[in-house]
Structure 1
Amino acid sequence: MSTAELISNWKHHIEHGSGPIYLSIIDALADSIRRGLLHEGDRLPPQRQLAAALGTDLTTVTRAFSEARRRGLIEATVGRGTFVKVGATETRWRHTGRAIVDLTMNLPPIPEEPALGQLIQADMTYLLRKQELSGLLSYRVTGGSTEERRLAARWMEPLLGQRNEDEVLVVPGAQAAIAAVVSTLTTPGDTIITDRFTYPGIRSAAAQFHLMLKGIDSDLEGMVPDQFDQACRRHRPQLIYCMPTIQNPSTATMSPERREAILAIARAHQIPILEDDPYGLLLRDGLPAMARLDPAHVFYVSTLAKVLSPGLRQAFLVVPGVDMAHRMSSAIRALSLTNSGLMTSLVARWMQNGSAASILAAIQTELRARQKIARDILGNGHCMHPDGPHVWLRLPDWWGSVDFVSYARRQGLALVPSNVFTVEGEPPQRARIALGSATSRESLAVSLRGVSDLLRHKRSPGFDDIV
């Protein structure tokens, strides 16, 4: 949208508003975001320019922008200007009534066997007998003990091959690992290349550290090499972020050949890769991690949140070399200090006695069953992976993503609209469905039949409530 069109739209709001001008400006801003006239990351005109164009004073515009920042609509960076905030478009779909069935979070389904409640109770009792309570509740060594890092390396070995435990860090969650890599390898104003539709966590990290994201198109195997090469030449990024296995949200999965192609381009441009691999261990037939194919240039993140439980708050960061591990350990210490001693000890116990492997196998089986249910009910034409935890739902022409998700929530179903994942360009007519958060297969089937019914519903032109 051009500046002239934006000014015209805002003038209309001011002229027809009944309250203070600064509130009319906020309303105009929110309306422009809601209608897609402004997108997350768009730069707003300077405040003096806006004041002159709107026929008001600078104090009024400054007051409006201050309130808009408080409401989470915009953010300002000294020397760069004011931008529509990442996440500003979430308000509409999140606040349209309480959903009965929440299919927004990619959680692993809780298996019936092994019974997690009994397992946790038994192993906590064991830990309390074998270890001092003060040790379980105390601060831990940042990055994990030698034994904890050795267990982590063994856990990831099917995907990574053998790695020196000195290159492995135990981290309190994947987001902390991502933030550590991003903050260490970039400076404000740098660019990160990612998929055009990508995990919101990297968008949050980029916004926090004042970085620019540039998204490129993908096919069924992920990033398209030619476009990736052109983006590297054009934008000169400092880092590439990718999720090569069951990409979130598209479910695209890179073949070994595609992984090699992307790695070769990154090496040619001397750009490190941040490989986020939350779902790699869910695959029936595992694929080699990019960090296994090129351990010298790839930073690898693996989390237990998607393959065991997010309640464990544990992830692993594997880096190129011991010196880099020391740098990342410092970043993790600054961001989150250390892991929970209680949860770290429980994870170590599960890895030692085989419980972790048993839980993973049960979750793999359950997700495959749920994917079959989804395919049977929703049909083909949607992006699915037989081993994955989510569906990238294709919507009919008459449904926009936010409208569909808002309408679904009114019917008691919570999904995620595509704008949450969109780095740049128009959000596609898609929505993400998480299959693991339903309490049972029966509950999931009922919910998916509801989604199927909504897909056939043709909304009227006046869907929005007007009063």
Structure 2
Amino acid sequence: MSAYPYLAHWKEEVSRSPSAIYMTLADALALSIRKGYLREGDKLPPQRTIAEYLGTNLTTVTRAFTEARRRGLIDATVGRGTFIRVGAGESHWRHTGPAVVDLTMNLPPIPQDPPLQRIIQSDITAILKQQDLNSLMSYRVTGGTLEERQLGAKWIAPIIGLRRTDEVLVCPGAQSALAAIASTYTQPGDVIVTDRIAYPGIRTIAAQFDLILVGVDSDMEGMMPEQLDRVCAEHHPRLLYCIPTIHNPTTATMSLQRRKDILKVAQHRHLHIVEDDPYSLLMDVPLPALAALDHSRVSYVATLAKTLSPGLRTAYVVLPNADMTRRVIAAIRAIALTNAGLLSALTARWMQTEQAHTILHAIQKELRRRQSIARKVLGEGHCMNPDGPHVWLKLPDWWGSADFVAYARRRGLALVPSTVFTISGEPPQRARIALGSASDAASLEESLHGVLSVLQHKRSPGFTDIV
């Protein structure tokens, strides 16, 4: 293997790393690029050759290459092979210059009316006057107090209906809740099925617990039931993870019939569903959650990060039975222990005084205004939901996703490439724009005009065009 000296380094990394082999290989490839062992345009050996040298199977190497392509490290062309891409490097699209406006974080805009800073200052002062400081600054009950669960059940009732208080948990953020549920239902090596283009947080969870993600094709209504059934027959997954309403990043929303069809497949295949629902309450009339249509099969997670503020670190979880509630509480305790007392008190106060609904309505109004601006500036042909916080931007033929985002970054605009969201197959020619993180509508509009100019810029061909 003298022609490929870096493979010895890869073999050493695989032998000593406790992580999944495919992730270790992707990390080793990235390190080889950073150290200069591999350069832009270098051709990698065939996957089968790598598998034989490392003593692993071809599937593992294929998964490693898929992960490396997602990171923007390599390009593959049928009949020509796999090459190190131009500008490859760890998080290349993040580090190509300072951003004037960061449009990567899917945050709700901070409302000016009512003024959020003044509300927080006033409410924190009232809480400190009314409640014992030792209690506020101490450890909390994992899963929330009875009162906090009651308030949570009331908050999500428009989406899942009335549920008993003992079925609702209060968790320190959706990501810890999703990790707790996934670790409770699965063992290392199990399969989770999800959309082929999916929220990156599920990738993080799968890597942490050594789970295998399998992607399912979607259409304008989200995951396609017949494709889900086919994947289930082939891979026998333990869990289905999905965002049925205003999917991140595609913005697709399942119709009521699509939700019923997905549940029918899940029932037939004895598949449990993890329903991630960050956005339903941004809609005036949300569709019923999967958890409202099938109590026994769905674990439901609704975060306040997208409807009020990520700073509250609060998510509400509804589980199908008492045994799962007990097991998930134990998992949350192991992962994140409990919510922060002062933030829990602020959240509870907002729920009790209806301030939460006032803030929610202000955020709804501002997001609809920003979606209108995006449609006016960017035009038609992109995936948008008038109530949602992001745009799934369609790119012209001459732009690959990672290259488009890297070039936009050099122009002071931070976006997210489709490679970050792609579970399997080729990344689509798309990028996500988060509309809520701009400081105000005027700043957003200026930034979107910048995005439009990048869209219209016809880039020079890269090394992949050279024969």
TM over 0.5: yes
Aligned to 2:15: none
Count of residue correspondences: 422
Question: Residues 404, 10 of structure 1: CA spacing in aligned structure 2 closer, same or farther, 3 A cutoff?
Answer: farther
> CA-to-partner distance for each residue in 1:290-325, whole Å, 9 max, x for gaps?
000001100000000000000111111110022211
Question: Residues 32, 182 of structure 1: CA spacing in aligned structure 2 closer, same or farther, 3 A cutoff?
Answer: farther
Question: Residues 141, 196 of structure 1: CA spacing in aligned structure 2 closer, same or farther, 3 A cutoff?
Answer: same
| Runs of at least 5 residues in structure 2 that lack an aligned partner in the other structure | 9-27, 73-89
> CA-to-partner distance for each residue in 1:344-388, whole Å, 9 max, x for gaps?
010000000010000000000100010000001101100000100
1:275 aligns with 2:280: no
Mapped to 1, the partners of 2:143 and 2:205 lie a distance apart of 20
Give 2:197's aligned amino acid.
Answer: F
> CA-to-partner distance for each residue in 1:188-246, whole Å, 9 max, x for gaps?
00001100000000000000000000001101100011101101111100000000000
Instruction: Provide the secondary structure at the position in 1 that maps to 2:50.
Output: coil
Question: Residues 30, 108 of structure 1: CA spacing in aligned structure 2 closer, same or farther, 3 A cutoff?
Answer: farther
1:220 aligns with 2:220: yes
Instruction: Provide the secondary structure at the position in 2 that maps to 1:192.
Output: strand
Mapped to 2, the partners of 1:120 and 1:28 lie a distance apart of 45
1:386 aligns with 2:392: no
Q: State the 1:24 CA deviation.
A: 11
Aligned to 1:17: none
Question: Residues 180, 456 of structure 1: CA spacing in aligned structure 2 closer, same or farther, 3 A cutoff?
Answer: same
Instruction: Provide the secondary structure at the position in 2 that maps to 1:45.
Output: helix
- The 8 Å contact of residues 171 and 316 in structure 2, kept in 1 or not, is answered as yes
Question: Residues 24, 312 of structure 1: CA spacing in aligned structure 2 closer, same or farther, 3 A cutoff?
Answer: closer
Counterpart of 1:49 (choices 32, 41, 53) is 53
> CA-to-partner distance for each residue in 1:416-465, whole Å, 9 max, x for gaps?
0000000011111100000000011100000000101111100112599x
Aligned to 2:84: none
Aligned to 1:326: 326
Mapped to 2, the partners of 1:37 and 1:200 lie a distance apart of 28
Q: State the 1:45 CA deviation.
A: 3.2
Question: Residues 281, 34 of structure 1: CA spacing in aligned structure 2 closer, same or farther, 3 A cutoff?
Answer: farther
Mapped to 2, the partners of 1:24 and 1:348 lie a distance apart of 45
- RMSD, aligned α-carbons: 3.0
Question: Residues 43, 324 of structure 1: CA spacing in aligned structure 2 closer, same or farther, 3 A cutoff?
Answer: farther
Mapped to 1, the partners of 2:395 and 2:359 lie a distance apart of 34
Runs of at least 4 residues of structure 1 off by over 2 A? 7-14, 22-25, 27-38, 42-46, 80-90
Deviates more, 1:23-32 or 1:138-147: 23-32
- The 8 Å contact of residues 10 and 28 in structure 1, kept in 2 or not, is answered as no
- The 8 Å contact of residues 263 and 290 in structure 2, kept in 1 or not, is answered as yes
Q: State the 1:283 CA deviation.
A: 1.0
Instruction: Tell me the TM-score normalized by structure 2.
Output: 0.85
- Which residues in structure 2 correspond to 1:96-135 (within 5 Å)? 96-135=96-135
Aligned to 1:26: 32
Mapped to 2, the partners of 1:412 and 1:162 lie a distance apart of 47
Q: Give the percent of matched residue pairs that are identical in Structure 1 and Structure 2.
A: 57
Q: State the 1:165 CA deviation.
A: 1.0
| Runs of at least 5 residues in structure 1 that lack an aligned partner in the other structure | 1-6, 15-21, 52-75
Question: Residues 389, 37 of structure 1: CA spacing in aligned structure 2 closer, same or farther, 3 A cutoff?
Answer: farther
Mapped to 2, the partners of 1:415 and 1:335 lie a distance apart of 30
Aligned to 1:251: 251
Aligned to 2:313: 313
> CA-to-partner distance for each residue in 1:322-356, whole Å, 9 max, x for gaps?
22111110000000000000000100000000100
Mapped to 2, the partners of 1:215 and 1:24 lie a distance apart of 24
Q: State the 1:284 CA deviation.
A: 2.4
> CA-to-partner distance for each residue in 1:144-195, whole Å, 9 max, x for gaps?
0011000000000000100011011100000000000100000000001100
Q: State the 1:27 CA deviation.
A: 2.9
Give 2:434's aligned amino acid.
Answer: A
Q: State the 1:10 CA deviation.
A: 4.2
Instruction: Tell me the TM-score normalized by structure 1.
Output: 0.85
Aligned to 1:413: 413
Instruction: Provide the secondary structure at the position in 1 that maps to 2:135.
Output: helix
> CA-to-partner distance for each residue in 1:371-415, whole Å, 9 max, x for gaps?
000001101100000100000000000000000000000000000
Aligned to 1:343: 343
Mapped to 1, the partners of 2:4 and 2:181 lie a distance apart of 41
- The 8 Å contact of residues 171 and 338 in structure 2, kept in 1 or not, is answered as yes
Q: State the 1:43 CA deviation.
A: 9.8
Mapped to 2, the partners of 1:102 and 1:459 lie a distance apart of 23
Mapped to 2, the partners of 1:195 and 1:323 lie a distance apart of 28
1:425 aligns with 2:425: yes
- The 8 Å contact of residues 240 and 271 in structure 1, kept in 2 or not, is answered as yes
- The 8 Å contact of residues 408 and 415 in structure 2, kept in 1 or not, is answered as yes
